[in-house]
Amino acid sequence: MNMNINLGRRGGAEVVGLDVQPGFVAAVKARVNGSILAEEVASMPLPADTVRDGEVMDQDALGDVLRELFASSGLSKRVRVGVANQRTVLRTLELPPITDRKELAAAVGFQAQEQVPMPLSNAVLDFHPLGIVETPAGPRQRVVLVAAQRDMVEKLLAAVRRAGLTPEGVDLSAFALIRSLYHADPEQTGRVLYLNVDGLTNLAIAEGPICRFTRVVGSGLEGMAIGLAERRGIALVDARSLLDAVDLTAAAPVSEPAPPVAVEETHEATQDEGETGEPANGEVAATEAAEQSLEEDAMSYEEMASVGGVRAEADAEVLNVLENGIRDISGEVRNSLDFHRSQEGGGEVSHILLSGSAQDIPGFAEALQASLGVEVQSAQLGVVDGHLNGGVSPHRLAVATGLATLEIHQ
C-alpha cells in the first residue's frame, strides 16, 4: 500500500481506539492484561450528516469535533481508526502454501483482481494469513483479504489529521468488535454473530476470533432518529432522546383517540338546545383539546416533558419508528445469515451477541430475538475498576476499545 497505513496490523503503546459513526464519536484507551478492558474514554455527539452510512460527508466538521474531543480528554493523539460502510470488502482466500511474505503478497494481489468488486487502483488492500489448512485438494494457505476504497479512507484520515491527531492505523470496525468481545469458551465452538446496533448497524460472523463475514446492514438508531425528527418536525437531539426513553418491555398499545364522529354527534345533539349562542359541552372540550394540541406542538421535547410528559400520540409514533427499525434490521440480518450459509465454508451461528446503544433500550434484545428466532445475548465489555468516567454507556464502546489494541483475549 502507498498510504502509510495498515488495515489493522500496526502496533505500539498508547494507541487510542477511535470509533467514528453517524451521530457519535468515541475514543478509548484500553488496558490489556489477559483481557481487554476500557480504561479511559471520551465521546461526543456529531452533527447530522457529518457521517452518513459510515462515510465522512463533512471533513471539516468531523475534524473540528475531534479536535475539541481530544483537547479536553487528555488522551494520546496517536489513534487507530475504524471503518464500517458498504465500501469495504472482506474475502477469505485459499492459496497454495507460501511461506515467503513477498510471494504471498503477490499471490494475494493477483487473486484480488477477481475477488474485489472495485478498481484496485482505487483500493487500499491488506491481508492476514490464517495458516495452512487441509482441503480435498491438499494443503492450502488460508488468507483474509480486506479492501477499502481509497477515497473513502482518505476523507476519514484527512479529518483525523485536521484535528491534529496521528493515525497509526486503519482497521475494520468488525475486527475491533470481535477483539473486544470475544472470549474463548470450550463449550461454544460454533460461529457467533456480533451485531453492533448504534449510529449504524454493523454485523460480523466469527469462528473463534477469526472474522468470516462482515457487512453494514442498516442505518441503526441514528437513522431512526433522523426519520423521527423529520416526521415530527423536531430537533435531531430531541428525537434521539425520545428513542432513548423507550422501554419495549413496558410498551403497551396506546388507546386510540375518540373518533371525530363522537364530537360531531355531541354537537348535533346540543345545537337545538343551545339557542343562547353559548358553546355546548362537546364544543368546549373539542376547542380546549385543539388549543392544548397547538400549544404542545409549539413546545420542544424538554418543555413537554417538564409539564407532564410527551403526548400519547408521540409515544405511539416513537414506538412505531423503533419497532419498524427492529423489523428492518432483522430482515437484513436474516438475509446476511442466508447468504453466509450459501457460501463455501459458511454455516450456522450459535447465537447473536448484541452491542451498541441498542443494549440500553429495555426489550430491544428480546424483540430482535423474537423476530429472528435466534438467541440474542447482551455483550459485556470489560471496564477497568468496573466503571468509566465520561457519561457514556460502556455498551457504545466495544468498537473503540477493540481498536485500541490488536491483541485477542484468549
- The pLDDT tens digits for 64-112 are 999 999 998 989 999 999 999 999 999 989 999 988 899 999 999 999 9
pLDDT of residue 17: 97
pLDDT of residue 241: 93
Distance CA 71, CA 45 (A): 15
Instruction: With a cut of 70, say whether residue 410 has pLDDT above it.
Output: no
Confidence grade of residue 6 (pLDDT, cut at 50, 70, 90): low
Three-class secondary structure of residue 297 per DSSP: helix
pLDDT of residue 275: 38
Confidence grade of residue 33 (pLDDT, cut at 50, 70, 90): confident
Distances in whole angstroms, Cα of residue 36 to Cα of each of 19, 169, 404: 16, 19, 9
Confidence grade of residue 384 (pLDDT, cut at 50, 70, 90): confident
Is residue 55 within 8 A of residue 85, CB to CB? The reply is yes
Distance CA 265, CA 267 (A): 5
Domain boundaries, the chain: 16-224+322-403
Confidence grade of residue 305 (pLDDT, cut at 50, 70, 90): very low
pLDDT of residue 409: 54
Q: How buried is residue 126: exposed, middle or buried, by Cβ count under 10 Å (0-12/13-18/19+)?
A: buried
pLDDT digits (tens, 9 = 90+) for 270-282: 334 333 344 444 4
Instruction: With a cut of 80, say whether residue 263 has pLDDT above it.
Output: no
Architecture of domain 16-224+322-403: 2-Layer Sandwich (3.30)
Cell matching residue 139: 494443503
pLDDT digits (tens, 9 = 90+) for 200-247: 999 999 998 999 999 998 889 999 999 999 999 999 999 999 999 999
pLDDT of residue 283: 47
pTM of the model: 0.81
Instruction: With a cut of 60, say whether residue 260 has pLDDT above it.
Output: no
pLDDT digits (tens, 9 = 90+) for 355-376: 999 999 999 999 999 999 999 9
